Structures are given as structure tokens and as C-alpha cells.
């Protein structure tokens, strides 16, 4: 195994040996972009260094440390770093490295950590770079100082908290010749704006927040400079006279009061930005320096990941829907319009997932989202479709390139990257059933006809929640709701009747609790923005639903009950109840009118609701939890207190059940809480 790699020669096969930062810079450099020439010391060297006899205990003692004992952790960290710093650097390694360094310009060397670990935390930024004069002993000391950085108490503690061990962290070191730049800066890119922040000297003043940088904003489409603001730059950093570190100095008056880039330099940098963004579409930010000769790219974010050659790399998210799948990844951007062109049987990768994507999900092998929790739209849809899903994976759309072979495990929340298709089992939804009598009635929740074959064969007492949102979303892919109601109202009612009747036929002689269209869950849908606050449209659609239920209950004798969602006040319930009475459905059928108990006001006013006509409640635990605890269902939460196990949620459910018992009405419970807990 090689212990050094030149930036010009690095490929994906050596990715773990060179780390994310160096690999990314190598790919940018090999595309012809200005990156200072350099070489990388392989992560293999640190592993070998630690396995020497005098250092072996760092690996064995790691698991014995009590990370809650801060003093013990500090002691272990200090002793570990001292062992590394006092260790003898093998002469054959040093000779090989220095012989390579002699091919670099004869200036001091900057040593930059380059970590390879599949985790959302940017570990490189936690490890400090080092500087070394151009001779062997100083170079060896600089290398050991970077290795010792890995054993600082805060780093060890973070590794333990994120359930990573030392063997999973590959620490390589990038060596590049260094001279103090005239100007340095950071550029961020998005679809509309290029933002450039600059300061004099080394970028350390900028990264440490010791200056307010000059700021320039360009329109990325028109290339017009839309704004610029002079910063507050009093100090800067430059290489010290020993060549082994940076020193802080006071800028002269002229530099303090002038912009750090002139018009021509800005134009050159803008051209570099646009070209880089076109060649690497995932890039959102890059750092650079300006020497007397040209701009040089020093860092690119997010890092380019060579997942195809690293089957042992794993990304961790939240397991949201059980099952496993292996398929090519397909990243879905927010402005993606050509869903029809996306082939079936892909693992779809989203930033966030809304119900609008339902037609696309129906042909997917699995789902990955950057945001969302167990009650997010993506999680719910995936469970209903019976496909594996993992949510809450930071930067998934950037870390997983389209076309990369991906394996997801919806049971454990892990994403890995096999080198080829493995033999995979047929995906089956496994539902453990009790082998003893239970007194509680069990119902299923349904929104997709595709799930009927499985659900109808389960030993259940009926459908406890028939959701209409996904059904309507599919219709809205064809034409807008206003067009449906103005020109195709009869056809719309026929579609709805067929949908309901198909489900009723799958559960003969069993009750169906039909939840009328929940506008709250459709708020983000682009097809409904035009009618979001149109109460007349809502009432027309509600009456169509009532007419359909009347047709199926009166003439075809199906047992359908009405469940009203997201009821916030007595007045709101009374309004809808009057519409139900006007339809004469209550006089002609045995239909019962229930409400979802998902808004906290129902907890305190249930007797009044029953007096107004409510005949039963279904506790919607997903929304009840988010309203009680002030959380967003699309938010990924690691705080275990903000879940259905929270005491406030338990007490709310308890009060609803006891109130229902006292009022002698039935009470059901649905959502993720009964599934998880």
C-alpha cells in the first residue's frame, strides 16, 4: 500500500486513504481548476503508527474510558497525545515523504487534516492545520501534531456520542507549499445568487470571525453585481518568520478602508464560480486564496464522495419504514419537473418529501429524505406502500450521486454502497400478529388501493381510518380542483365512489371510518394554493363526499361512518354537522359522525362536542403530539423527550380516553404512537 498520493493521480479507489477534503480537491484539480499542487500522506500511516508496541494501548484502552467522567477523559486524551508527540517517526517513512516533498516549491509546507468518515459532522473543521519549514525533522513534528489532534478530549467525546470508534476514522494529511496570500475568501453558490466574502491575508481571520469581511453579491443568471459592502477589517494573518505557524498583525490604514478585490479580480473570480458550479453541480461553497499570480481553490463543500468504491461506508438515518432494497439512487431536486422520465425501481433521494410526489413513489424501490421524522409524509407514505424508507439523513442529496448503487435498510436506518447487486430477498411486509385473544378491536389505516390485498387478509375488525388525501392528489395531477368542480364534477364523484366501493368490498360486513378530505395535510400542495382559503370550494367538495357516502350506505348497504379531521372549535364542528344534516344522510342511514381528537382544544371540550353531535373520537397521535410539544412532523428530532413517550402526550391521551368512557362514546387511537410504543 502506498503511503503518499499526488493530487494529480488520486482516484476513487484510494478515497479512504486520502480523506474527503483531499479527494475533493484532487477531482477539482484534475478538471483543470487552480488548486495548489500537493501530496497526501495516507491514513494508513496513522494506523500503523498506533499499532506499534508503545502506542497499542490507545486502541485497547479506548473502550474502557468512562466518557461521563470528564477528568478521566481529559487525562486519557493528554496521555494519548503525549505518546504520539514523543513517539519516534520511522526513518523510512520520513525519507519517502521528504523525497516527495522536495519536488514541491521550496517554501514552508502547510499540513491540512483530511478525514474520511461517513458522518454528517465535518470532522476536518475540528482539527487544526500545521505549518512546517522545508526540512525533515519539522515535517515529522507537524505530522505528529495533526495525528495528536485526533486525541483531544472534545474529539474523543464526539466520537463516543456519535457511536463511532477510532477504526472508522481515517485521518490523512494534505501537504502543499504555502505562501501568505494577498487576499482570501469564501464563495457560496445557489441557483440565484453568488455571495463572495473576502479579507486580507490568510483565511484564518475570516474563519475565526475576527473580521467583518467585504461582501459582494452577484445575480448568478445575469452576472450583474447587485450589492457590495465594505467590511470592518482591522487585523490579518500571515506566515511567521520561522515558517512554522501564522502570526496576527494590524492592517495599515489604507487596507482597513479599502475593498480587498478590484473590479478585474471580481470578474475573474465570478467566472471561476460559474465554471465550477457548472462542472460540479453539488458544490455550494468553496474557499480560495489570491496570490500575486492567480486564484487558488483551497476547499470545496460539500465534499465529493467516492461511494461507489467504498462498500464499507455507511450513512445513518432514522428507520421509517421496514424492509431492504438495493437499487440505483435517483436524486430528486425541488425544481424537478420531469417525473415521467425517471425510471422505476430506483431509490429516490429527496431533501423533503410532500404528498405531491405520490405517483413517483408508487414505482420506487425505496426512499431517503434529508429531513422528516417517523410521522413525516414520506414515512407514512412509504409504510403504506410497503417500501423501505430512511429519513433524517443530512446532506443526502449531495452525498449520494444519481446512479450510485445504494442499499437501504429500513429496519436499522442504515445506507451502504455495495459494489454490485447482491442477492436480495423479495420485499414483503411482515406483520407480527398476536397468538392470543385480545379484547381491543384492531382496525387498519388505508389510503392506497395497492395495500388492499395485504390489509384485507389480516384478522382486523375494519378500516379505522380511510384517508382521501392521496386519492385527490393523484386526480390533481390530471387537472386542477377548480377544473374538476366546474367541468368534471360528475366524473369526480364517479372516481370517488369507485375508490370507496373497492375498499368496502375488500372488508365485507365490517365498518369503514371514512375521514373527509383533510385540508391541513394538503397545505403544501402546489395544486391547491389557488383554493386554500376558499370556503365555498371546500363545502362543495364536502357535499360531493357526503353524496357518495349516501349512495354507498343507503343503496349498497356498506357500513360507512364519517370521521371529521382537524376540528379546532365547536363552531367549526357545528358548521360541518349542519351540512351533514342538510344532506339527510343521518335520517336515511345508520352513519355515525366522529371527529379526530388531534387538536388540543378537544381534550378540554369533549363534553361540549358530544352534546353538539359527536358520536365517537379517534385520537390522532401524530398531530396531537406535534401540537402539544410544538414540533414539526417534517423535522428530524434526536431529542427523545419530544416523542409520544412525553408525559404531556400520555396525560392528554389518558384524559381523552377517560372522558370518552365517562361520556359513553367509543374511542379509537391511531398514528405512530401505538406502532412504536
pLDDT at 480 over 90: no
Could you read off the pLDDT of 139-198 as tens digits, one per residue? 999 999 999 998 888 888 888 777 777 777 889 999 999 999 999 999 988 777 899 999
Q: Can you give the pTM of this predicted structure?
A: 0.56
Could you read off the pLDDT of 56-104 as tens digits, one per residue? 666 565 666 777 788 888 888 888 889 899 888 888 999 999 999 999 9
Q: Are 50 and 59 in contact (CB under 8 A)?
A: yes
pLDDT at position 436: 56
Q: SS3 for 6-22, per residue? A: EHHHCCHHHHHHHHHHH
Lowest mean pLDDT among 354-358, 363-367, 626-630: 354-358
The length of the chain in residues reads 677
**In sequence order, what are the beta bridge partners of 670?**
620
Name, of 191-205, 303-317, 470-484, the range with top average pLDDT.
Answer: 191-205
Q: Are 76 and 61 in contact (CB under 8 A)?
A: yes
pLDDT at position 677: 77
Three-state secondary structure call for residue 528: helix
Distance of alpha carbon 76 from alpha carbon 60, whole angstroms: 12
Lowest mean pLDDT among 37-41, 424-428, 562-566, 567-571: 424-428
Q: Sheet holding 295-301: strands in order across?
A: 225-229, 214-219, 193-200, 183-189, 285-290, 295-301
Could you read off the pLDDT of 526-547 as tens digits, one per residue? 556 566 677 888 889 999 999 9
Nearest to 584 by CA among 557, 547, 559: 547
> What is 377-423 written as a DSSP string?
HHHHHHHHHT--EEE--TTHHHHS-TT-EEEEETTTTEEE--SSPPP
With a pLDDT cut of 90, the percent of the chain lying above it is 43
Residue 217: count of CB within 10 angstroms of its CB: 17
Q: Pairing between strand 560-564 and 593-597?
A: parallel
- The per-residue pLDDT of the chain, averaged, comes to 85
Residue 625: count of CB within 10 angstroms of its CB: 26
Mean pLDDT value of segment 235-252? 94
CA–chain centroid gap for 327, Å, is 19
pLDDT at 431 over 70: no
Provide long-range contacts, Cβ within 8 A and 24+ apart, for 538-543: 539/579, 540/485, 541/481, 541/485, 541/517, 542/516, 542/517, 542/576, 542/579, 543/579, 543/583
Contacts of residue 551, defined as CB under 8 A and 6 or more positions apart, other chains included, come to 497
Cα distance from N-terminal residue to C-terminal residue, the chain: 50
pLDDT at 389 over 80: yes
Contacts of residue 676, defined as CB under 8 A and 6 or more positions apart, other chains included, come to 374, 643, 644
pLDDT at 331 over 90: no
Residue with cell 484502552: 61
pLDDT at 625 over 70: yes
pLDDT at position 425: 40
pLDDT at position 523: 54
Q: Sheet holding 130-132: strands in order across?
A: 4-6, 39-41, 170-177, 109-116, 130-132
Q: Quote the radius of gyration of the chain (alpha carbons, Å).
A: 31
H or E element that contains 49: helix 44-50
pLDDT at position 390: 93
Q: What is the dihedral of CA 617, 580, 478, 380, to 10 degrees?
A: 0
More confident residue, 45 or 377: 45
Mean pLDDT value of segment 239-251? 93
> What is 94-134 written as a DSSP string?
HHHHHHHHTTS-SS-EEEEEEEE--SSS-GGGGS--EEE-S
Q: Are 175 and 110 in contact (CB under 8 A)?
A: yes
Mean pLDDT value of segment 619-626? 91
Nearest to 359 by CA among 525, 537, 548: 525
- pLDDT confidence bin for 135, thresholds 50/70/90: confident
Contacts of residue 585, defined as CB under 8 A and 6 or more positions apart, other chains included, come to 546, 549, 550, 553, 554, 591
Residue 120: count of CB within 10 angstroms of its CB: 15
Cell output for 389: 424508507
Q: What is the dihedral of CA 571, 573, 576, 581, to 10 degrees?
A: -100
CA atoms within 13 A on the CB side of 251: 23
Cell output for 49: 503508527
Nearest to 310 by CA among 4, 593, 15: 15
Residue 21: count of CB within 10 angstroms of its CB: 26
Residue 23 main-chain phi, psi, to 5 deg: -60, -45
Amino acid at each position: 500500500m502506498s503511503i503518499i498520493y499526488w493530487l494529480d493521480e488520486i482516484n476513487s479507489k484510494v478515497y479512504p486513504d486520502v480523506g474527503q477534503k483531499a479527494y475533493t480537491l484532487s477531482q477539482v484539480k484534475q478538471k483543470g481548476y487552480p488548486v495548489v499542487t500537493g501530496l497526501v500522506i495516507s491514513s494508513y500511516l496513522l494506523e500503523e503508527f498506533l499499532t506499534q508496541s508503545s502506542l497499542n494501548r490507545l486502541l485497547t484502552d479506548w473502550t474502557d474510558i468512562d466518557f461521563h467522567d470528564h477528568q478521566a477523559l481529559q487525562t486519557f486524551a493528554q496521555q494519548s497525545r503525549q505518546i504520539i508527540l514523543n513517539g519516534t517517526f520511522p526513518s523510512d517513512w520520513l525519507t519517502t515523504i521528504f523525497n516527495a516533498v522536495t519536488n514541491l516549491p521550496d517554501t514552508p509546507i502547510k499540513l491540512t487534516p483530511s478525514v474520511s468518515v461517513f458522518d454528517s459532522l465535518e470532522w476536518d473543521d475540528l482539527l487544526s492545520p500545521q505549518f512546517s519549514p522545508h526540512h525533515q525533522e519539522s515535517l515529522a513534528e507537524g505530522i505528529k501534531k495533526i495525528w495528536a489532534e485526533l486525541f483531544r478530549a472534545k474529539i474523543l467525546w464526539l466520537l463516543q456520542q456519535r457511536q463511532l470508534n477510532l477504526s472508522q476514522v481515517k485521518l490523512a494529511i494534505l501537504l502543499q507549499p504555502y505562501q501568505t496570500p494577498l487576499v482570501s475568501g469564501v464563495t457560496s453558490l445557489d441557483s440565484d445568487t453568488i455571495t463572495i466574502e473576502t479579507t486580507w491575508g490568510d483565511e484564518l481571520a475570516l474563519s475565526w470571525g475576527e473580521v467583518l469581511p467585504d461582501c459582494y453579491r452577484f445575480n448568478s443568471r445575469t452576472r450583474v453585481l447587485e450589492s457590495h459592502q465594505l467590511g470592518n477589517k482591522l487585523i490579518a494573518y500571515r506566515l511567521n518568520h520561522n515558517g512554522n505557524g501564522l502570526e496576527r498583525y494590524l492592517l495599515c490604514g489604507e487596507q482597513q478602508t479599502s475593498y480587498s478585490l478590484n473590479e478585474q479580480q471580481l470578474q475573474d473570480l465570478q467566472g471561476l464560480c460559474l465554471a465550477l458550479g457548472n462542472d460540479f453541480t453539488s458544490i455550494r461553497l468553496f474557499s480560495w486564496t489570491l496570490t500575486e499570480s492567480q486564484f487558488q481553490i483551497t476547499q470545496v463543500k460539500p465534499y465529493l464522495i467516492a461511494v461507489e468504491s467504498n462498500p464499507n461506508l455507511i450513512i445513518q438515518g432514522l428507520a421509517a419504514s421496514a424492509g431492504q432494497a438495493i437499487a440505483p439512487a435517483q436524486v430528486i431536486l425541488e425544481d424537478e419537473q420531469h417525473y415521467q422520465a425517471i425510471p422505476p425501481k430506483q431509490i429516490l433521494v429527496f431533501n423533503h418529501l410532500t404528498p405531491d410526489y405520490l405517483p413517483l413513489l408508487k414505482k420506487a424501490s425505496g426512499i431517503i429524505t434529508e429531513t422528516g421524522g417517523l410521522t413525516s409524509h414520506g414515512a407514512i407514505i412509504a409504510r403504506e406502500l410497503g417500501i423501505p424508507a430512511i429519513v433524517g439523513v443530512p446532506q443526502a442529496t449531495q452525498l449520494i450521486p444519481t446512479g450510485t448503487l445504494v442499499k437501504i435498510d429500513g429496519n436499522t436506518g442504515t445506507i451502504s454502497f455495495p459494489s454490485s447487486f447482491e442477492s436480495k430477498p423479495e420485499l414483503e411486509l411482515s406483520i407480527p400478529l398476536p397468538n392470543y385473544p385480545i379484547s381491543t378491536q384492531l382496525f387498519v389505516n388505508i389510503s392506497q388501493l395497492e395495500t388492499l390485498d395485504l390489509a384485507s387478509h389480516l384478522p382486523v375488525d375494519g378500516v379505522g381510518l380511510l384517508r382521501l388525501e392521496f386519492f385527490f392528489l393523484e386526480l390533481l395531477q390530471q387537472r386542477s380542483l377548480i377544473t374538476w368542480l366546474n367541468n368534471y364534477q360528475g366524473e369526480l364523484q364517479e372516481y370517488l365512489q369507485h375508490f370507496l366501493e373497492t375498499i368496502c368490498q375488500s372488508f365485507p360486513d365490517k365498518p369503514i371510518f371514512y375521514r373527509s378530505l383533510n385540508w391541513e395535510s394538503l397545505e403544501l400542495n402546489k395544486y391547491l394554493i389557488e383554493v386554500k382559503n376558499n370556503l365555498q370550494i371546500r363545502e362543495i367538495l364536502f357535499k360531493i363526499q357526503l353524496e357518495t357516502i349516501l349512495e354507498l350506505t343507503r343503496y349498497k348497504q356498506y357500513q360507512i361512518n364519517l370521521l371529521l379531521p382537524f376540528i379546532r372549535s365547536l363552531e367549526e364542528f357545528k358548521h360541518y354537522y349542519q351540512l351533514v344534516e342538510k344532506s339527510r344522510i343521518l335520517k336515511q342511514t345508520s352513519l355515525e359522525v366522529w371527529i379526530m381528537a388531534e387538536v388540543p382544544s378537544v381534550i378540554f371540550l369533549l363534553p361540549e362536542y358530544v352534546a353538539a353531535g359527536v358520536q365517537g373520537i379517534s385520537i390522532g397521535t401524530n398531530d396531537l403530539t406535534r401540537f402539544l410539544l410544538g414540533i414539526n412532523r417534517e423535522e428530524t428530532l434526536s431529542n427523545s423527550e419530544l416523542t409520544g413517550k412525553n408525559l404531556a402526550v400520555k396525560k392528554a391521551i389518558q384524559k381523552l380516553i377517560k372522558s370518552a368512557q365517562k361520556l359513553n362514546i367509543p374511542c379509537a387511537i391511531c398514528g405512530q404512537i401505538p406502532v412504536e410504543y
